[in-house]
């Protein structure tokens, strides 16, 4: 939305009004704001189509590209590629009318739904510029909030009981980008076994990943191979061996 607003010269006050109008799905107010800037009928139609576009990456991408924002479409595709690693590609749709009212968001935002609860159970987004204002160099940050009461209600409706047993803790990191998909698989299987697992998908050195041993009993680094940390040394293991470790100790 920021790029679109900049492309037609919206001032800050009108940008805030536009964002609120989109949140309320108020098309008439959006048209009124855009008309102030003398946009041609074709440009105005493109803006409306883009702001309220929803559906597949192909559909949304076509409308966004028509406004000259191909780089944003590529960003959508990269996010979708990561979600494919979780097997979520069929659970995601893009809705450009989803706008968070907090000004610190600087990139993609999202909302989370489950079939059993008819409202949003979580939401978040990217806010690199916020950390930059706080003095962080080359910041990269994404955050979200889950509404715990709604999550618990969804679990109840799905017939899932929450475990009260103390859980073993594991950390799964990535030392080569090619290991991202396998790291996701490993983390999911560990969680299925009842192991509380932290998954870090940013590529880090083995030295950096070894520091996780201070927080988790079982530490894995995934790239071309799956490595596990034992007595300060990394050793290669198969996926089955990696899953057996928390069960043996």
Global pTM reads: 0.61
* 145-203 confidence digits (pLDDT tens): 999 999 988 988 888 877 666 567 999 999 999 999 999 999 999 999 989 999 999 89
Where exactly are the structural domains of the chain? 169-248
Q: What is the pLDDT of residue 189?
A: 95
Give the Cα separation of 105 and 167 in Å (integer).
34
* 38-87 confidence digits (pLDDT tens): 877 877 787 777 777 888 888 888 888 877 788 888 888 888 888 888 88
How many helices, marked H, and strands, marked E, lie in the chain? 11, 10
**Residue 195, C-beta contacts closer than 8 angstroms, at least 6 positions apart:** 167, 168, 169, 170, 218, 246
- Name the CATH superfamily housing domain 169-248: Anticodon-binding domain (3.40.50.800)
**C-beta of residue 41 within 8 angstroms of C-beta of residue 85:** no
């Amino acid at each position: 939305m920021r790029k679109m607003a900049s492309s037609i010269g919206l001032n800050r006050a009108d940008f805030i009004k536009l964002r609120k109008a989109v949140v309320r799905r108020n098309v008439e107010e959006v048209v009124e704001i855009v008309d102030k800037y003398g946009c041609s009928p074709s440009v105005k139609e493109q803006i409306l189509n883009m702001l309220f576009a929803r559906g597949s990456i192909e559909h949304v991408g076509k409308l966004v590209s028509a406004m000259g924002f191909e780089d944003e479409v590529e960003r959508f595709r990269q996010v979708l590629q990561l979600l494919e690693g979780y097997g979520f590609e069929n659970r995601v749709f893009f809705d450009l009318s989803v706008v968070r009212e907090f000004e610190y968001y600087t990139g993609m935002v999202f909302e989370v739904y489950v079939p059993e609860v008819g409202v949003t159970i979580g939401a978040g987004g990217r806010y690199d510029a916020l950390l930059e204002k706080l003095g962080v160099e080359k910041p990269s940050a994404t955050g979200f909030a889950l509404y715990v009461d709604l999550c618990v209600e969804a679990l109840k409706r799905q017939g899932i009981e929450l475990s009260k047993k103390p859980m073993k803790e594991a950390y799964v990191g990535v030392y080569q980008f090619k290991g991202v998909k396998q790291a996701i698989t490993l983390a999911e299987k560990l969680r299925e076994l009842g192991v509380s697992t932290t998954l870090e998908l940013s590529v880090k050195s083995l030295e950096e990943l070894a520091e996780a041993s201070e927080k988790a009993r079982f530490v894995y680094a995934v790239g071309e191979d799956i490595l596990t940390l034992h007595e300060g040394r990394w050793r290669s293991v198969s996926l089955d061996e990696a899953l057996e470790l928390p069960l043996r100790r």
